[in-house]
């Protein structure tokens, strides 16, 4: 009986060892196959508002489909995103030409989109950052009001708003995010250009995601926003005409580290293809689907990529 038991145990041990070896072999093959298929690891960054989340997801899904291992870093301010790119903490993010010139490079305002793009592209070569193709949508800042209130007060332009505020400085409440409030091409510069000032007690600094809802629900009367945001139409808001051309061009561009391009040569062509397929109506539509129709952002970007035969 002892001999039978010993033989049985021995057989079971052998079977277990074969199973373990087989599993190890299978694991090794899977690992090798994954490593072979991956073209490398790319970290894509994004800022803290819907359009940037859409651009981040478009880039991440697209590059994953092209064989890259992609990590995402979202929710950053402009300054943090730029710093992360310079330090190599991220490889790519979408920046706006006006933000690049004014905030990062401390250059004068440039209204012309092509001139702004060429200038920021040329200067940033010294920083070993490559501005790829300029997308044909200009997500410049916009001063927003509810359409019915703007019509009631006869406000169509920012000059109209300035005149009204100067005469009725306690009547309108202004909502802004912290970044616009602090930037020279933001609150300070706007009030200087149009010669008016909201009283500090009438200015509320809130998260970017809450600006549009705050305006829609009447908690504020005037708000900063973005020209391509789908909520302008969805919430029946109006963008006041920038009749003194204060806001510079803000075309979106994928910006990538030179070091990353040198490692992955095809990235330049891939990202240019994305930029070449994006325009103002496209971005408004994508933003609208996420913010107003509340569709899943991954489904929205994947559907668009498929429609353009990019994946």
Q: Domain of 289: which CATH number?
A: 3.40.190.10
- Measured between alpha carbons, how far is 266 from 270 in angstroms, rounded to an integer? 6
Helix (H) or strand (E) run with residue 43 in it? strand 41-47
The CA-CA-CA angle for residues 173, 182, 128, to 5°, reads 145
Q: Which of 213, 239, 265 delimits the end of a domain?
A: 239
**SS3 assignment, position 171:** coil
Q: Which of 186, 205, 239 delimits the end of a domain?
A: 239
Q: Is there a single domain that holds both residue 87 and residue 226?
A: no
Q: Is there a single domain that holds both residue 52 and residue 133?
A: yes
What values do phi and psi take at 10, rounded to 5?
-60, -45
Q: Give the DSSP letter string of 113-150.
A: HHHHHHHHHHHHGGGTEEE-PPPB-B--EEEEEEHHHH
Q: Is there a single domain that holds both residue 162 and residue 120?
A: no
**SS3 assignment, position 55:** helix
Q: Is there a single domain that holds both residue 93 and residue 229?
A: no
Q: Please tell me the pTM assigned to this model.
A: 0.75
- Measured between alpha carbons, how far is 230 from 287 in angstroms, rounded to an integer? 5
- What integer pLDDT is reported at residue 42 of this predicted model? 97
Q: Is there a single domain that holds both residue 146 and residue 101?
A: no
Domain containing residue 232: 141-239
pLDDT under 70: residue ranges of the chain: 1-37
Assess if residue 1 is contained within a domain. Answer: no
**What six digits make up the tokens of 123?**
């200067």
- From residue 51, give the alpha-carbon distance in Å to each of 75, 127, 250, 268: 12, 26, 13, 22
Q: Is there a single domain that holds both residue 263 and residue 122?
A: yes
Q: CATH code at 216?
A: 3.40.190.120
- What integer pLDDT is reported at residue 17 of this predicted model? 39
Q: Domain total for the chain?
A: 2
What values do phi and psi take at 244, rounded to 5?
-110, 10
Assess if residue 10 is contained within a domain. Answer: no
- What integer pLDDT is reported at residue 13 of this predicted model? 37
């Amino acid at each position: 009986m002892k001999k039978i038991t010993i033989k049985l145990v021995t057989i079971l041990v052998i079977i277990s060892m074969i199973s373990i070896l087989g599993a190890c072999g299978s694991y090794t093959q899977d690992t090798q196959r994954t490593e072979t298929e991956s073209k490398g690891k790319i970290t894509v960054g994004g800022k803290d508002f819907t359009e940037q989340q859409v651009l981040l997801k478009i880039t991440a899904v697209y590059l994953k489909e092209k064989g890259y291992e992609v990590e995402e870093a979202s929710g950053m301010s402009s300054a943090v995103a730029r710093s992360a790119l310079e330090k190599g903490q991220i490889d790519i993010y979408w920046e706006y030409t006006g933000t690049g010139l004014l905030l990062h490079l401390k250059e004068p305002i440039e209204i012309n989109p092509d001139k702004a793009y060429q200038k920021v592209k040329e200067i940033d070569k010294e920083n070993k950052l490559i501005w790829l193709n300029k997308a044909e949508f200009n997500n410049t800042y916009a001063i927003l009001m509810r359409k019915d209130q703007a019509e009631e007060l006869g406000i169509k332009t920012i000059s109209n708003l300035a005149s009204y505020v100067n005469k009725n400085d306690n009547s309108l409440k202004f909502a802004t995010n912290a970044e616009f409030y602090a930037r020279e091409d933001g609150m300070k510069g706007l009030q200087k250009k149009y010669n008016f000032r909201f009283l500090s007690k009438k200015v509320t600094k809130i998260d970017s995601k809450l600006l549009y809802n705050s305006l829609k629900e009447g908690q504020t009367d005037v708000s900063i926003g973005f020209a391509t945001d789908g909520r302008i139409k969805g919430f029946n808001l109006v963008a006041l005409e920038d009749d003194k051309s204060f806001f510079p061009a803000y075309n979106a561009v994928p910006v990538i580290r030179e070091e990353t391009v040198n490692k992955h040569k095809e990235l330049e062509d891939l990202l240019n293809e994305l930029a070449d397929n994006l325009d103002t109506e496209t971005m408004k539509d994508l933003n609208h689907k996420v913010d107003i129709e509340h569709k899943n952002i991954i489904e929205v970007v994947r559907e668009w990529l498929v429609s353009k035969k990019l994946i």
